[in-house]
Structure 1
Amino acid sequence: MKIGFFTQMERLIRSPSLRIIRKQLMKKLKQSGKTAASEADLSDKDRTLIRHIQERTRRLNLNNVTRTMAYFDYYLNHSEVEWALLGHMVSRNGGWSMTDLRGELLSKLLSDTEQNHFFRFLERGNWLIFQDAYPQFLLYEESLRRNTPLFHLLPHFHVSAFMEVMWEHFWTSGDRYLLTMALVINEQSYLEKRVIQNDHYQSTILGTFPFKLQELLRLNQILFPYHKGLNKGAGQAVGMIGETLRHFGSLHERIMLGKRLYDVLFGSPEHLRGVLAWAKEHPHTGSRKDYWPHVFNDVNESAPGAPYKKRMDDCRIQPGSPRLYSPSLQHAWKNFDHKEAEPGDWFDDWKVIDYFMKDEEKGDGDIGHEYCKTLEKIEFAVIAKSAIF
C-alpha cells in the first residue's frame, strides 16, 4: 500500500499496538530463512496434535460446501475469531460463483472448456485459503484447551511468520479487529503468487476476454443475505448487503474489499444478527436458491432447447416464466483432487500493517439494487448472444 513515509510513522507513533506489532514483525524478518524445529524435536503430544490438525483439515477441505460450513461451525464456537464468519460468507459466494458456471445464464455464455477453467480457478483459491486458515483456527482452539499459546507450531503447517506474530498479539490483547485484518491480509497475500500471478491462471482465466468482460460489467458482487427484523419463519423477508470487487487481479483491491466487507458485516449489530439468523436457517448448498427461491431453483424448470427469453423484472421473475436454474454444488461439480500448495512465505515487508488503520469513509453495504442490475446485464448478454448465433 503506497502512503507517505512520515504519514505512516505518525500513525505508528499514535498506536502502541502497532508499534509492538511492528517491532515483532521486524524481528521475524531478521530471522527469515531460519528453519523451524523439526517434528523430531517436538513432544509426542505436539506431534500428535500436528497430525490431528492436518487430518481434520484434509477431511473438511473436500469441497466448497464442507469448507464453508466448517468456517461457520467454528465461528459458532469461537465468535471472537470474527474472520471465521467473514470467511464463511465470502466462501458461500465462492460456491455460488462455482454453480453459476453450470446455471441458467453463464452456461449459455461460456464454453465447457471455459466453465472448467473458471471452476478450477475458483476451487483452487477456495482450497488454498482453507488449508492455510483452518489449521490456525484449530491451533488456537487447542491453545485455549491447554491455556497456553501454541503458535510456535504454525511453521509446521507452512503458515506465514506474519500470522505467528499476529496470533501472539491476539492472545495477549484480544483485539478482534486486528486479528481479522491480519487474516484478510494473509490469505489474500497467500493467494497472490499461487493463483493470481500463476502463469496457468493468467492464460486461462485472468487474461481472457470473459474475465475482462466480467470486470467491465462489475459482476463481482459479494452478497451477504440477512433476515430483516426479528421475526422468523418461511415468510421472513431477506435483505442483501455486500460490496463489489472492482479489480480482482489487484492484491490491494482485494484487501480493501476485505476491510469493507468486515465493516458491512460487523459494523451494524442489526446486520450481524440478521446474517447470523439467515445463515443458521440456511445451510450452504451452493445454489442461489438458498437466499432467493423466488428467483432461483435448484431444479431446471426451463424447456430443453427453448431459446432464452427475458425473465427478470425488478429482481423478480415475470409471471409465467420459469425461475433461473441454480444447481447445488454436488450436482454441478465433482470433488477435485489438488496438488500440494506451493511453498514459500509471502511476508517480506512489515509495512503491510498500514492496512490495520481503520478507514474513515465507509459504505452502507446496500447492494440489492446493484445486484438486480447485474442479473439484468447477464440476461441481456445471453439474449444478445442467442440473437447473434
Structure 2
Amino acid sequence: MHHNDRKRKWNGFSKTFPYSLLDVKDELKKKGKKQTSVKTWELTGEETRLIHEIKEQTRQHNNNNVTRTHAYFQFYLRYPEIHWALLGHMVSRNGGWNMTDLKGDLYTRLLSEKDQLIFFSFLERGNWLIFQDVYPQFLLYEQSVKRSKRLFHLLPFFNVSTFMETLWNHFWRTGDQYMLAIATVINEQSYLEKRVIQNAHFKKTVLNSIGFKLYDFFRFNHILFPFYKDETKQETLLVGNTMKHFTSLHERILLGKRLYSLLFSRENILSGVVDWAHDHPHTGSRKDYWPHLFNDVNESFSRAFYKRRTKKCQLRKGADRLYSPRLIYTWKDLNHEEEESKDWFEDWHIMDYLIDKGENIDGEIYDEYCTTLEKIELAILAKKNVLLREEAEDE
C-alpha cells in the first residue's frame, strides 16, 4: 500500500489510545518498521517437542468444520477467559450451516454442482486457515498456564503474526479479555484477507467467475446465534447480524466486534448460548436449532416441482420440512495445501480497532432471516418459471 493511501486510510481513526494500550502501541510501532523474521535461537529440547505436539494436535482437529467447531467449544469450556474460542465456535457453526446449505433443499435448485463445489472450497479454505492459525495460539496459552510461564516467544514457529505475540503478552500482563478477543478478530480477518480474499487462485475461480452469485449468497448470509430463552430450555431463540460486504476487511472486523458484543455484553444471551451449544453438538444441519423447519433426512422428492414451504419461519400447511443435511454426509474432508508464512502485519494503526467504540447491536435477526428464507424460495420459483418459459419457447 502506498504511504499516502495508508495515511488517508487511517485518517478517520482516533489519535488517542487508552493509557493501557500505550505499551502495545510502542511495540507495534517498532515492529511495523521492520518485518521480524523467525529467530533461529537455540530451542531447548522441551520447546522443540512442544512445538511438534501442538502442530500435531492442531492437525488432528483440523479435519473438517465439525472437528474444528467442536475443538473451539471444548477449549472455551476449559478456558472461558479466552472469549474468542466461543465466538469462533459460534461463527464456525454458521460456516458449517453454509456448507451444508449448498447440498440442502434450496441451493441445490439454484446452483450447479460445479458452483456448489467452488463455494464449498471457498468456505472450507477460510475455516481451515483460521483454525490452523488460531488453535496453536490457544494450545500455547494452555501450556503457558500449566507451566506458569509465558511461552509466546514460540508463536513465530507456528507462523503466527508478530501482532498477536504482542497482544498475548499484553493479555498475560493485564488479563484484558476484551482486548485479546478483538485482537484475535483483527488477526484472523487480516490473515484471511491476505490468503483468501486477495489470493489470486480464489480471485480467479471464485470472486470473478461467479462473483455476482457469491455476493447473493452472502447477502443472504446471516450469522445466527441460537440460545435458550431461559433455564427451562424449552424455547430456542435466535440473535445475530448480517454480513454486508464480505470482501471488505474493515466491514468484517466491525462485524466481528458487533458479534462479540452480542455474545458477551448480555449475561442471559451468553449463558443461553453456552447451554444451548453444550446440549446441541454441532452437526452442520440447521435441524440443530430449528427441527420444526429443517430435517437432516430428506422428506420430499427432489424432482418434484418446488412449492413454497415457509411463511414467517413456520412450515406452510402440509409442507415437508426443508432438507438440511449433516456435514459428515455432505462433503468429503479436503486435503489443504500449506500456506506460505508471510506476516500480514505492517501498519500499527490497525490497533485502532482495539478501542471499544460501543459497537452494540440489538441482535434482532428473526424477521430478516424469515424474509430471507422466503426470498430464496421465490428465487427458486423464478428460476423454474424461466426454465419452463424457455422450454415452451423451444417447443
Q: TM-score range by the shorter chain?
A: over 0.9
Describe the shift of the 1:361–1:196 C-alpha distance in structure 2 as closer, same or farther (beyond 3 A): closer
SS at match of 2:201: helix
CA distance in 2, matches of 1:35, 1:340: 18
CA contact (8 A) 2:66 2:283 kept: yes
Alignment of structure 1 residues 18-97 onto 2, 5 Å = 18-37=21-40, 41-97=42-98
CA contact (8 A) 2:102 2:108 kept: yes
AA partner of residue 124 (structure 2): E
What's the Cα RMSD here?
1.3
CA contact (8 A) 1:81 1:180 kept: yes
Q: Does residue 346 of structure 1 match 2:344?
A: yes
CA contact (8 A) 1:181 1:356 kept: yes
Q: Which runs of 5+ in 1 are unaligned?
A: none
Q: Does residue 194 of structure 1 match 2:195?
A: yes
CA distance in 2, matches of 1:30, 1:116: 41
Q: Deviations over 1:73-92 (max 9, x none)?
A: 00000000000000000000
CA distance in 1, matches of 2:115, 2:214: 10
- Residue 31 of structure 1 and its aligned partner are, at CA, apart by 4.7
Describe the shift of the 1:180–1:382 C-alpha distance in structure 2 as closer, same or farther (beyond 3 A): same
Partner of 1:4: 11
Partner of 1:177: 178
Q: Structure 1 stretches (4+) deviating beyond 4 angstroms?
A: none
Partner of 2:151: 150
Q: Deviations over 1:92-129 (max 9, x none)?
A: 00000000000000011000000000000000000000
Taking structure 2 as the reference length, the TM-score comes to 0.93
CA contact (8 A) 2:62 2:128 kept: yes
- Residue 300 of structure 1 and its aligned partner are, at CA, apart by 0.3
Taking structure 1 as the reference length, the TM-score comes to 0.95
Partner of 2:275: 277
SS at match of 2:239: strand
Q: Which runs of 5+ in 2 are unaligned?
A: 1-5, 388-395
Partner of 1:371: 369
AA partner of residue 31 (structure 2): K
SS at match of 1:8: coil
CA distance in 2, matches of 1:296, 1:197: 35
Partner of 2:3: none
AA partner of residue 8 (structure 1): S
Alignment of structure 1 residues 87-166 onto 2, 5 Å = 87-166=88-167
SS at match of 1:223: strand
CA contact (8 A) 2:225 2:240 kept: yes
SS at match of 1:248: coil
Number of residues of Structure 1 aligned to a counterpart in Structure 2? 378
AA partner of residue 20 (structure 1): D
Partner of 1:355: 353
**Larger CA deviation: 273-282 vs 206-215:** 206-215
CA distance in 2, matches of 1:30, 1:202: 29
SS at match of 1:301: coil
- Residue 287 of structure 1 and its aligned partner are, at CA, apart by 0.3
SS at match of 1:303: coil
